[in-house]
């Protein structure tokens, strides 16, 4: 069953005493909007968690294999696609002339692209550029997400930590018998983050992204933090997933207009928030219960999934 209608959604998640998305260019500090102090989590980070969840529950087996995963060699996947469609002859060898042939014919590129979409969940969901090495073309994915932004400014706390061991014999000699080594850890005391997402039924038809795939994606957003625990990330949880379902492929209302009506407010702005209870989430001034479906606009329904 293909996706037959446009979907837009709002994802709310929080972090407590952890680092939701460190910036490697800033010593792994939590990502920040430098002008407002609001915290940021990249769309790439969120998609990584979805990939990990799908790979975990589906065991990375076709048609739910994961294209972008740890230790993946993408050209091997591209070669496997050509072999699967019976176009191995176009791969050639390793000489210069053979490498030119790796571009593949237009027909083979299209078939290889379709084969990868069929077997790899993240490609038919998020898309991919597969033109490096053996050319399998490009896919524009039907599912897109924005950066997540905290509802208010966050405070990035820095902590000194001690390791009661050293890594090498040379390091042990320098420590003069004291094996303690010092390190730093960055955390956010508390932050509630909001991300927006979009599902295009037109692109879903092109990649083969089905209704079952969409349900799996929403399930991943609900549960992805439950299987992504680490000491660095503290306590993270999905606090709300609000899905706007349109009755047509084109949609029945502008996404930004729907998003603006879903309001998250701090019950006591004068006090620093330290848990989700400090916030209230309403749609047109009324709260929406988990599992409740309400009319959002003509031809648009809002369902709170969690």
Please determine, for residue 246, whether its predicted confidence score (pLDDT) is greater than 80: yes
Q: Quick one: 84 exposed, middle or buried, by C-beta within 10 A (0-12, 13-18, 19+)? A: middle
* Residues 271/278, Cβ–Cβ less than 8 Å: yes
Q: Using a pLDDT cut of 90, give the percent of the chain over it.
A: 80
Structure tokens belonging to residue 169: 């014999």
Give mean pLDDT, residues 87-111: 75
The pLDDT score that the predictor gives to residue 22 is: 94
Question: Per-residue b/e over 164-178, b at no fewer than 16 CB within 10 Å?
Answer: eebeeeeeeeeeeee
DSSP 58-75: HTT-TTSB-SS-TT--HH
Please determine, for residue 176, whether its predicted confidence score (pLDDT) is greater than 80: no
* Residues 70/60, Cβ–Cβ less than 8 Å: no
Model pTM?
Answer: 0.92
> What does the pLDDT look like over 25-74, one tens digit per residue?
988 999 999 999 999 999 999 999 999 999 999 999 999 999 999 999 99
The whole-angstrom distance between residue 27's C-alpha and the CA centroid of its chain comes to: 22
Q: Which of 131, 124, 137 is nearest to 67 (CA)?
A: 124
Please determine, for residue 266, whether its predicted confidence score (pLDDT) is greater than 70: yes
Give mean pLDDT, residues 246-260: 98
Where residue 141 falls among pLDDT bands split at 50, 70, 90?
Answer: very high
Q: Which of 60, 250, 41 is nearest to 154 (CA)?
A: 41
Task: Indicate the range of 26-40, 79-93, 215-229 predicted with least confidence.
Answer: 79-93
Pick 163 or 13 by higher pLDDT. Answer: 13
Where residue 94 falls among pLDDT bands split at 50, 70, 90?
Answer: low
Secondary structure tally for the chain: helices H, strands E: 9, 15
The pLDDT score that the predictor gives to residue 99 is: 53
* Helix intervals (H) in the chain: 43-58, 74-84, 96-100, 106-119, 121-126, 169-174, 201-207, 211-223, 255-261
Task: Indicate the range of 18-22, 101-105, 281-285 predicted with least confidence.
Answer: 101-105
Give mean pLDDT, residues 142-157: 95
């Amino acid at each position: 069953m293909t996706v037959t209608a446009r979907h837009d959604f709002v994802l709310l998640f929080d972090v407590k005493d952890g680092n939701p998305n460190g910036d490697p260019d800033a010593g792994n500090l939590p990502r920040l909007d430098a002008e407002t102090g609001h915290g940021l989590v990249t769309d790439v980070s969120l998609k990584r968690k979805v990939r990990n969840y799908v790979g975990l529950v589906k065991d990375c087996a076709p048609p739910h294999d994961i294209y972008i995963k740890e230790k993946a060699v993408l050209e091997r996947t591209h070669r496997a696609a050509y072999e699967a469609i019976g176009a191995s002859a176009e791969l050639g060898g390793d000489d210069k002339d053979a490498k030119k042939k790796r571009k593949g014919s237009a027909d083979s590129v299209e078939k290889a692209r379709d084969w990868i979409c069929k077997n790899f969940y993240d490609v038919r969901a998020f898309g991919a550029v597969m033109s490096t090495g053996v050319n399998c073309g490009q896919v524009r994915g039907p599912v897109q997400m924005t950066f997540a932004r905290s509802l208010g400014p966050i405070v990035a706390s820095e902590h000194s930590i001690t390791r009661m061991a050293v890594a090498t014999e040379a390091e042990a000699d320098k420590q003069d018998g004291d094996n303690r080594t010092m390190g730093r850890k960055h955390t956010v005391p508390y932050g509630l983050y909001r991300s927006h997402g979009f599902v295009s039924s037109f692109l879903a038809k092109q990649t083969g992204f089905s209704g079952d795939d969409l349900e799996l994606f929403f399930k991943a957003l609900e549960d992805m933090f439950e299987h992504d625990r680490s000491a660095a990330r503290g306590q993270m949880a999905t606090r709300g997933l609000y899905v706007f379902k349109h009755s047509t492929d084109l949609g029945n209302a502008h996404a930004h207009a729907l998003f603006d009506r879903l309001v998250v407010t701090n019950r006591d702005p004068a006090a620093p928030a330290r848990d989700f209870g400090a916030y209230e989430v309403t749609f047109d001034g009324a709260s929406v219960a988990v599992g409740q479906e309400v009319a959002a606009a003509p031809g648009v329904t809002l369902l709170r999934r969690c």
